[in-house]
Amino acid sequence: MIFDYFTNETLRGPEMRKIRRLMRVIGEEIIFGIDEDQIEQFLTQRGFCDVRNVNAEDLKRLYFTGLNAGRVISKGVDIVSARVNKTGD
């Protein structure tokens, strides 16, 4: 599974009005966020494993190079991948 999510810290921050407006435009609703550094625990408690989280700094370092080096990326929106734990461990 792969999805993006907002951290709770972002949802409580000053950019929230702009974020909610953008989400309405694209037809998505923000239902909840996850505390920073808690995504692995959140997903493992729900039966997932091999959790890999990528934040804005990671994305900027990996992909925003060369001509893209000056592009802006919003902090507080992370992307995570995980697998269903079939063994139940």
Q: Measured between alpha carbons, how far apart are the two ends of the chain, in Å?
A: 18
As to burial, measured by CB atoms within 10 angstroms (0-12 exposed, 13-18 middle, 19+ buried), residue 76 is buried
Low-confidence residues of the chain: pLDDT under 70: 88-89
9 three-class SS:
helix
Query: What pLDDT does 28 receive?
Result: 87
Identity at 10, one-letter amino acid code: T
Q: Phi, psi at residue 15, to the nearest 5°?
A: -85, 0
Query: What pLDDT does 89 receive?
Result: 59
Residue bearing tokens 């934040």: 55
DSSP conformational letter for 68: G
Query: What pLDDT does 16 receive?
Result: 82
